[in-house]
Chains A and B, each alone.
Chain A
């Protein structure tokens, strides 16, 4: 162990002594006595250089490639104390409890990291970089789908949850519990009411189809398809206070490129919006214009607006000609809209265009609204709706007060970004990205400060920093939660074996 500086931190002597004690008890490496000083920052994986992180995040372990040994010295920027860490194979692995002590003492400030590497017996010291600790925490859990970057097969698919304050990962539901044969069971569109898991849902398709809904902690299994709906309910959003879920219902098509490395085009040849009243088991149509493909409903946190995206498309011969649509897939571009909602009468107002992406020859999808209702974060790509397959897809944030987009260049990359959302305190933006290798989707977080500035994002930390480099499955559709899911996988499994309840009634739109 090495405690280089001995000035006690402002956090108090308690923290200081605790750090010393912890360091004394663990095998911290020594700093090299002689080294060559480099003028550059180190190249580390994942790239945590200059990132801003929440004060409750798990240790940001990292590695340095092609070195024989590595030591990182983490210290308070004001130099009050420092700790050293190393690990096997170029890894820097940080003790969890020490890390949390460090974050607690550096909350709202910065940590400085100096990396020393050894190659062929010679040590080098790199220019220190900062890790900024925000004052605001992030919701402690994230759930996501884990699957190979597949296209139509669903043999191996699970929804998992990860405790962001450490590395614990548990399974919410795994289709291996139930699937037979090679068709598999698709599970998708998990969502929560207000980041809590007492009201949550996800769909099951193919084998044992239906929608799993947890309503006030009680598990129900529903067949959300009626004769009036064009398909079973799909993309969804829980109303923040009422037992209502908004869904899009849609006809999905998937085609493959022969040369484009975007590989896949996913299209909707028709889509509408509905809401489902969980307590009364009733469906109500919200929007069903055949020339409008409405998708990705999302409630505002005050529950007075339903945001969504829609593409305008009129078929030549007035029937759903998928061949025609396939030939014109690049013309299918989505704008962002919202529609007011009166919870007293359960009625909706008229659609209001809030962002004209088509006018910019772009397509905006997956809107999510910040807690204060001021910002809308969404994914924008060249066309279509599955932007994780579009190289130029980026995350954008619309300021509803000014009607302008914020500068989101800090969080975007040259590879696809998609599926953004806000944390419950709106200080963190969660999104998925393929920036690592272009093919495997990973979860990233970015700090969104009170001045509306976006900070450099960071990848969800892994205990073994090489994990995501070697992992051959994607983490897709991440959702933040305040707590873990309480229903066990076994309970979901047993429920899935039962016949799903049919919708009791349908109300058509006015």
Chain B
């Protein structure tokens, strides 16, 4: 095997991994990575530093949280993360003296880490780790760095080198357990394996007995280290359960009774595979065909696993894009995203789309042109079932002017999953709408200590200085209006975000035309005819002369002529001819299909291409309001 081939191979491996990682991280999951950073949290205060440092792995947490920020620009974050992995590869290769031809195997733990980022699915909403993306890559890098056999470079005899190596096992664990958590223990294990694998098998000190003795000694030191260091170093802490010290920093996917081991596999690989790295150093370069066959198999397996575990559910990604669109007031993008969805949508998508329609004043004229057929979010291995209140309830509540409920949901999430940039922004916005300026100042002061949210904080500061500006701002205009026009109630949402909003607004009588359209739209969604007619009357009162929106006209015809709502005089309503024509055509066609003996589902499907954008179709086919 020629050296030049090897050199080419190692660069080819690196390139292959870079392409693979870039594809899965950036091309396929830029929205997820942005989301992960947005639900992360780092700031330059000593409070945050102290918070991190009180538990094992604190330095990793702080640094991980800092670097995770960079996914604010997913390309930048991806580059940094891949860069760290490539650095880790070179470090391992150099440290363990892995020959070029076998070096692709070193990417296995990095691929596992890559997998850990893209397989999460809806777990992204309930991760407690604000540092998730970088914590483990940094941990792996640190463990490999600390296990570099520096003693072999010291100008001392072999025996002393071996003693230093042996002493380094407890030292590395004891010194670095608090900054690095479980990764300091990993370093100790690798050093032990390294020590054993490098011990002379043949030569003047060889002999089975000596080897066994040495193995026993190293093993004993290692076991004592792994047992005692976490135990002693966490003896006085009150921040963790007594059963946690040994695996502190290891990511477990537990939520009450749920435990998804499949999501933990990458982290097991990260802890196990590097332990055999020292043994890879024994593999020689001679058998090119064998080594390259294994490398190809590894690469294919890697790609296959990543593809299989990549969470590609369309709605999951669309929800994240829509959430961001709503936050940034990009209403057209939100509606474009809603229009692109082929299949049924989640209730959160419905609500986010409705927020965009409300802000464009199109709730009652275009809502049923979009798909309202709903499904529950698809979850990884059915391991979790999330509701809107766990996802973006605060964002939705805020945009409907329900700032107190938004604050409640935001704070509850902080309690469960920690503070995040997203939550802090949301709390700031709610405080501003509520007129709690001192509170808003507090949040902005903290956001001002972050790297990428500083700009947002500076932008928002003008509303603290002059709250009148809010009424003209795209971000605050509608929430402020709905907050002011909404009625004051006392109650709770019982975790039903959509139902809470719809029920409140369908009964709200307001003289503001934009807010009234929301009330009218909610009455239609709830299919409450009494509320609907009250709202129709109110619409008429405050919009004298203005035609009713398309869907309202459809609903009026449908309720009066089909559902026979009594006592309504429609003679004063000027209907759009096309609405009337379509209404008649809808029921002609419906009766026609019904006469053919088609069942409800078949009729619904048959009517959809022509009438799927009408209120009648929605009412007759989708039947009940689904809420989540």
Contact = CB atoms under 8 A, between A and B. Distances in A.
Contact of A255 (B242, B412, B442, B490): B490
Nearest to A176: B239
B434 A261 contact: yes
Interface stretch (B84-92, B185-193, B480-488, B614-622): B480-488
A326 B492 CA distance: 11
B408 interface: yes
B255 interface: yes
B256 A182 contact: yes
Interface string B488-515: 1111110000000000100000000000
Contact of A156 (B257, B402, B415): B415
B242 A151 contact: no
Contact of B439 (A326, A437, A464, A466): A437
A9 interface: no
A265 to B, nearest CB: 6
Contacts of A464: 46
Interface stretch (A211-219, A228-236, A469-477): A469-477
A259 B407 CA distance: 11
A122 interface: no
Interface in A223-256: 254-256
A151 B256 contact: no
A142 B267 CA distance: 43
B489 A257 contact: yes
In this complex, the member of A152, A183, A470 whose beta carbon has the largest number of chain B beta carbons within 10 angstroms is A470
Interface in B437-487: 438-439, 441-442, 445-446, 449, 483, 486-487
Nearest to B431: A439
B404 A259 contact: yes
B107 interface: no
A171 B442 contact: no
Contacts of A263: 404, 407-408
A456 B77 CA distance: 51
A306 to B, nearest CB: 32
Given A258-B504, A437-B439, A148 B415 contact: yes
B47 A258 contact: no
B442 A469 contact: yes
B240 A153 contact: no
In this complex, the member of B238, B434, B441, B504 whose beta carbon has the largest number of chain A beta carbons within 10 angstroms is B238
A177 B411 contact: no
B53 to A, nearest CB: 15
Contacts of B487: 258-259
Nearest to B427: A439
Contacts of B45: 466, 470
A256 B415 CA distance: 18
B497 to A, nearest CB: 13
Interface string B389-409: 000000000000010110110
Contact of B404 (A147, A257, A466): A257
B233 interface: no
Contacts of A265: 490
Contacts, number: 125
Contacts of A173: 238
Contacts of A260: 404, 488
A42 B240 CA distance: 44
A438 B404 contact: no
Contact of B47 (A178, A471, A493): A471
A182 B126 CA distance: 10
Contact of A149 (B254, B257, B411, B493): B411
Interface residues of B, number: 44
A50 interface: no
A318 B407 CA distance: 36
A158 interface: yes
A438 B439 contact: yes
A467 B415 CA distance: 20
Given A174-B238, A176-B239, A259 B483 contact: yes
A330 to B, nearest CB: 10
A155 interface: yes
A70 B419 CA distance: 32
B405 A174 contact: no
A210 B436 CA distance: 38
A177 to B, nearest CB: 5
A469 B242 contact: no
A185 to B, nearest CB: 11
Contacts of B254: 180-181
A155 B492 CA distance: 20
A180 B263 CA distance: 19
B216 interface: no
A509 B4 CA distance: 95
Interface string B46-61: 1100000000000000
Contacts of A307: none
Contact of B408 (A151, A182, A329, A467): A151
A173 B419 CA distance: 22
Contacts of A466: 45
Interface in B411-432: 411-412, 414-416, 419, 431
Contact of A256 (B238, B408, B414, B439): B408
Contacts of A184: 415
Contacts of B83: none
Contacts of A402: none
B204 interface: no
Nearest to A472: B419
Contact of B445 (A171, A254, A467, A470): A470
A183 B256 contact: yes
Contact of A259 (B239, B436, B486, B493): B486
B241 interface: yes
A500 interface: no
Interface string A306-329: 000000000000000000001001
A258 B256 contact: no
A301 interface: no
A489 interface: yes
B435 interface: yes
A154 interface: yes
Contacts of B242: 177, 493
Given A151-B408, A181-B256, A472-B446, A436 B438 contact: yes
A469 B45 CA distance: 11
A17 to B, nearest CB: 35
Nearest to B446: A470
Interface in A135-154: 147-154
A148 B239 contact: no
A261 B439 CA distance: 12
B441 A148 contact: no
A258 B489 contact: yes
A469 B434 contact: no
B47 A470 contact: yes
Given A438-B438, A470-B445, A256 B488 contact: no
B55 to A, nearest CB: 9
In this complex, the member of B47, B241, B408, B490 whose beta carbon has the largest number of chain A beta carbons within 10 angstroms is B490
B490 A326 contact: yes
Contacts of A150: 411-412, 414-415
Interface in A468-503: 469-472, 489-490, 493
Contact of A182 (B239, B416, B439, B489): B416
B83 to A, nearest CB: 32
B490 A256 contact: yes
B411 A151 contact: yes
B120 to A, nearest CB: 17
Contacts of B431: 439
10 contacts: A155-B415, A174-B238, A176-B239, A182-B256, A256-B492, A259-B487, A329-B490, A437-B441, A438-B438, A469-B445
* CB-based closest 4 A-B pairs: A153-B415, A181-B256, A174-B238, A437-B438
Given A256-B492, A469-B445, 16 more contacts: A150-B415, A151-B412, A153-B416, A155-B415, A155-B416, A171-B238, A176-B238, A177-B238, A256-B404, A256-B491, A258-B491, A263-B408, A437-B441, A437-B442, A439-B431, A439-B439
